[in-house]
């Protein structure tokens, strides 16, 4: 069970990274196009800004999920660092439970937001529903919840080579030295 779940989360993690990365690349390409059209061509396009915002929402919520699994998400550890060692594991369980509760909240209310706005359209993209543009919120929260469940039952995955790929402290990275 453990190996199957962790491998499934590896696939979800890699998909989250790739989708987030592609959204960031698209946003990076689209913004200069908008600037070029406005200031060089003298005619501002209406589509680059909403597309860039949509890309930003996608990479924010899916990227946050991936960074949570990798242990690089912003975390305030002031309390946990000051608690005596014997209480840290119990406090970690409380933090995981609170994180799971937050994810459930975001899934429920994010999905409700999608449903309420599903029949509205974006002026610049009439074929695209506003509800679709809000989907990264509940989807990212669901992915994060899967990673919280993984951490709760199977421990942190942040030190595994797949998760640390590209990290200079990872044993997989060879900087030209002898293997």
Residue 41 lies in a domain: yes
| Number of domains forming the structure of the chain | 1
Question: Two tokens at 4?
Answer: 């199957």
Q: Partners of 129 in the beta sheet?
A: 121
Give the model confidence (pLDDT) of 8-23 as tens digits.
999 999 999 999 999 9
Q: Which backbone phi and psi does 133 adopt, to 5 degrees?
A: -70, -20
* Cβ-contact 147, 9 below 8 angstroms: yes
Residue 175 lies in a domain: no
| Domain range for 78 | 2-164
Question: Two tokens at 152?
Answer: 């709760």
Residue 170 lies in a domain: no
The confidence score (pLDDT) of residue 174 equals 40
Residue 171 lies in a domain: no
What is the mean predicted confidence (pLDDT) over 30-50? 88
Residue 40 lies in a domain: yes
Q: What is the spatial distance between Cα 152 and Cα 93, in angstroms, rounded to a whole number? A: 7
Residue 144 lies in a domain: yes
Question: Two tokens at 168?
Answer: 């200079």
Residue 172 lies in a domain: no
Q: What is the spatial distance between Cα 9 and Cα 4, in angstroms, rounded to a whole number? A: 9
Give the model confidence (pLDDT) of 120-165 as tens digits.
998 888 888 999 999 999 999 999 999 999 999 998 888 888 877 6
Stated pTM of the model: 0.84
The residue with tokens 């860039």 is: 52
User: What percent of the chain is predicted at pLDDT more than 70?
Assistant: 91
Residue 176 lies in a domain: no
């Amino acid at each position: 069970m453990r190996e199957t779940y962790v491998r499934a989360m590896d696939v979800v993690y890699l998909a989250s990274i790739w989708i987030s990365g592609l959204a960031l690349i698209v946003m990076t390409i689209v913004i200069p196009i908008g600037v070029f059209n406005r200031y060089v061509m003298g005619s501002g396009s209406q589509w680059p800004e909403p597309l860039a915002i949509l890309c930003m929402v996608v990479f924010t919520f899916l990227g946050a999920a991936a960074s949570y699994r990798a242990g690089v998400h912003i975390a305030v550890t002031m309390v946990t660092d000051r608690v005596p060692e014997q209480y840290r594991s119990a406090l970690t369980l409380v933090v995981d439970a609170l994180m799971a509760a937050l994810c459930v909240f975001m899934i429920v209310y994010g999905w409700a937001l999608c449903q309420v706005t599903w029949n509205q359209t974006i002026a610049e993209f009439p074929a695209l529903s506003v509800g679709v543009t809000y989907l990264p919120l509940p989807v990212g929260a669901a992915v994060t919840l899967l990673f919280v469940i993984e951490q709760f039952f199977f421990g942190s995955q942040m030190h595994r080579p797949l998760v640390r790929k590209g990290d200079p402290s990872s044993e997989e990275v060879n900087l030209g030295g002898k293997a």
